[in-house]
Amino acid sequence: MNKQELVEEVSTETGLTKAASGRVVSGITDAITDALARGERVTLVGFGTFRVASRKARAGRNPQTGQTIQIPAKKVPRFKPGKNLRKKVK
């Protein structure tokens, strides 16, 4: 499912117009993105938790040359599904 299909699904479920549903979906994704950028957690009970995790610096290999390279430390987004989501998918 892509974003447009999600907007259509939200529109069907809520009775909102597609334009309003598009603004809702964009607002939710923007709010989650902004919170993660500030280093905050976003917990949607029953759905899951978005958080920022840190990856340590490490050595890697260039697959084309085989040369060892240093991969810098960085922060990455993580998602842990909630109990209800795990049950539905199972």
Q: Look at residue 45 and give its three-state secondary structure.
A: coil
Gyration radius of the chain over CA positions? 18
pLDDT class of 90 with cuts at 50, 70, 90: confident
Average pLDDT over residues 28-46: 96
pLDDT at 66: 92
What distances in angstroms separate CA 47 from CA 37, 41, 44, 57, one per listed residue?
20, 14, 5, 31
User: Are residues 33 and 47 both part of a single domain?
Assistant: no
Say if residue 43's pLDDT is above 90: yes
User: Are residues 47 and 89 both part of a single domain?
Assistant: yes
Q: What percent of the chain has pLDDT over 70?
A: 100
User: Are residues 29 and 49 both part of a single domain?
Assistant: no
Average pLDDT over residues 34-60: 96
User: Are residues 23 and 57 both part of a single domain?
Assistant: no
Backbone angles phi, psi at 74, to 5 degrees: -160, 170
User: Are residues 52 and 85 both part of a single domain?
Assistant: yes
User: Are residues 59 and 31 both part of a single domain?
Assistant: no
Q: Look at residue 22 and give its three-state secondary structure.
A: helix
3-state DSSP percent of the chain in helix, strand and coil, to 5 = 45, 30, 25
pTM reported for the whole predicted model: 0.82
User: Are residues 29 and 10 both part of a single domain?
Assistant: yes
Q: What is the average pLDDT value for the chain, to the nearest integer?
A: 96
User: Are residues 35 and 50 both part of a single domain?
Assistant: no
Give the domain range for residue 51.
43-90
> How many domains, the chain?
2
pLDDT at 84: 95
